[in-house]
Each structure stands twice: as C-alpha cells, then as structure tokens.
Amino acid sequence: MTILAILNGRVVDPATGSVSAGGVLIRDGRIAEVGMIDMPPGAETLDARGSLIAPGIVDIGCFAIDMPAFAAGGITRTALMPDQSPPIDDGALVQRALAAGKPALWVHPIAAATHGLNGTELAEIGLMAAAGAVAVATGRTRIADARVMHRVLGYAAALDLVTIVHAEDEAMVRGTVATDGETATRLGLPSAPAMSEAMAVARDLMLAEDTGAPIHFRQLTTAAAFDLVRAAKARGVPVTCGITPAHLYLSDAEIGPFRTFARLSPPLRCEADRQAARQAVADGTVDMLCSGHDPRGSEAKRLPFAESEPGMAGAETLLTLSLGLVRDGLITLPRLFHLLSTGPARRFNLPGGSMAPGAEADLILVDEHAPWRIRADAMAATAGNTPFDGLPVQGRVRTVIKGGRVL
C-alpha cells in the first residue's frame, strides 16, 4: 500500500464551497482523509507550503493531446474533440485515443456525430460508446441539416451520452473571420453578425427540448445566446455551456492590427458581449471553463489574417487566467474549481473533480499569487499561439498528482 500525505496546504472543496487549512491523505491512489489528517507510519510527505490543494482540472473539448501543456496547466483529464486526422468516428480510433496519455493524463475521446464529421450520415455512435467514448460532438462546426441533428440527439440520449455542439450558423459565418463591428470594418475583414451564434443555439435548443436529449454548447460568447440558455434551463431543458478565458478577457478590438493569435473560433465579440459573458459566469449560466486548446504552428498563424487558422494554445493559461475571475470578485475559489473540474466531471460522468474520501486522487497544488508573464515563445505547448502573449499574470501550478502519483 502506498501512502502520501500532503501537508500544510489550503484545501479547496467545490462540493462544500469551503477553503480550509489542512492536508490530504492518499492511500493507493485514492483520497483517504481531508483536513487535519492523522499521519500513519511510513507515509511519504509532501509539504504544500501554503499552496491551494484542489481537484485536478477536467478540460472538455481540447483539439490536441499536448502533455507538457496539460502538466503545466494542471489538467489531469481531458475530453478530446473528434476533429483529429482521421476524425474519431469508429471504435478503433476511440481506443487509440484512450491510450494516448496514460498514466500521466487520462484522455477521454469524444465520438464524431457523423462519419468524417461530414454532417450527413450518422457514425456508429453505439460502437464508439462501447469502446469508451464519453460524449458525441459535431466538431468544429454544427450540423446544418436539422433532421440529422435531431437523430443525433435522440440516438446519443438513448446511449446516455451528452451531445457537444458548435454554435454558429454555418451559412452566416461561411467565409468570414471576425464579428461585425467597428474593428472588422476598419480592417476590411469579412465578418458575420454576432446573432449567428444565437440562431444556432435557438435551433439546437428546440431539437434538444423535443427529444429530451442532454446538450452542451462547447463555447458560447454572446448575450443573446446566454439569454436563450437561461430561458431553456428555466424550462427544464438539460442544457449546459462552456467558455474560454479569451472570451472573458478580450474583445474584438484585440484583433487589430491583424493579430492572428487573436483569430479564434468563435471569433472575439464586442465589449458588450464580453461583459455579458462575465455576467453569465457570475450568475451560473456558464457551467464550465475550458481551454479550447488548439495549438497552431507558425505555418498556420504567420499568414494574412483572413488566411490564418483559428485557434489558440490555452491549456497552460486556463487556470492562471481563471484565477483572475476570483480576484475580480465574479466567483469564489470553490466555484472556480467547480467550473474547472467538478462540473465538467459530473456532466460527462468522469472520475476526478472531487475532494471526497474515496475519490480518485487527481489533485493539483497551486500557488495562487505566484507572478509570471505569459510568453508565446516560452510556452510548454507544441505551439505558443496565445492571444495573451506578454500579459503579466498571477497563479501557477506547483505540483500535479495523478491517481496519487506525483508527476
């Protein structure tokens, strides 16, 4: 039996909403005691030195397996989007993705809703669920055909799987790279109205309500979309949504002058929508914070803005940027780790995200006040395409513990 005692920390428990002095005792990879623990003989010790002891981050919707970035950001489990090469649309590809990160990280594959993510023919969702897929997703785009989407939702619900969708009306955003507004006009960029998001959300909420199927919008970014989700939740629709720190801290003004690192999907919105997104985090409309980790090399980003690929390296900055929401008074520390860990784990029936005795010991030690500067050229990620390059921040992961093992 292996025993590890983490001492002299501040335990953050999202379930009880508390932050308390103490430690965590781990036996054979599971949490045995929390708080003022009794030291058993022969236990190894780890001095937290006042750091936060919190559940490891469960990141929903990464586009790449990036072990150094995940370790730097405190991510112990990630749900991998099906947008791979080839797309994750059969059981063998699910099994291959499952084995990719063990034992340091657990990758939970998300099944493609349609063959090749083509949006027309349903994939073998049942076989992929049997192979270990934890959800179904439409990929980087939504399914245009409402009848196909209706079938996807019904089939996934029958298998007790959540369907993860991208929320942009494909006809409205085709060929565009920004949100309508002063910045896009001044730079001469092809743009689409922000309502393209709400249009997509409205349709898929109606389909989810009709089927009774659970639905998750991977990223929402506009006031109109958040209003639709609030109303749907009030009606009892099983809907959740996520957001990245980029859409909480940056507006579309950040894309000037032609900053391709700020070209994202969905694109950055106006200041009013950014403020609405922050309010949605504060009032509980947003259910989880995610990294949107999508590292892009120089061949994809060092191009004219309209020709560059959307995406950002978000894994190692997710926690430090999210801690800013606590300092801003929008949420508490326990609520933060609910959004980063407990909420995603519960929604997708994943282990982790808990500080309760008996839970798997996926933990992180965090120095919430450690100052550092985000530098694109010094990131652990496979590519450093971050829109936060040069930003001074506070909060850094000191130690990652996966299944009771110090990494």
DSSP 350-361: -S-S--STTSB-
pLDDT of residue 407: 86
pLDDT digits (tens, 9 = 90+) for 99-126: 887 777 889 999 999 999 999 999 999 9
DSSP 247: H
Mean pLDDT for the chain?
96
Overall fold of domain 56-351: TIM Barrel (3.20.20)
Q: How confident is the model at residue 39 (pLDDT cuts 50, 70, 90)?
A: confident
DSSP 341: I
pLDDT digits (tens, 9 = 90+) for 231-249: 999 999 999 999 999 999 9
pTM, full prediction: 0.96
Q: How confident is the model at residue 206 (pLDDT cuts 50, 70, 90)?
A: very high
Q: What is the CA radius of gyration of the chain?
A: 21
pLDDT digits (tens, 9 = 90+) for 172-201: 999 999 999 999 999 999 999 999 999 999
Q: Domain coordinates of the chain in residue numbers?
A: 56-351
Distance CA 260, CA 271 (A): 19
% residues pLDDT > 90 (the chain): 93
pLDDT of residue 23: 96
Q: Are 71 and 365 in contact (CB under 8 A)?
A: no
Which three-class secondary structure state does DSSP give residue 137? Answer: strand
Which of the two residues, 396 and 105, has the higher pLDDT score? 396
pLDDT digits (tens, 9 = 90+) for 348-359: 999 989 999 999
Q: How confident is the model at residue 1 (pLDDT cuts 50, 70, 90)?
A: low
Kind and range of the H or E run holding 157: helix 146-158
Distance CA 371, CA 48 (A): 18
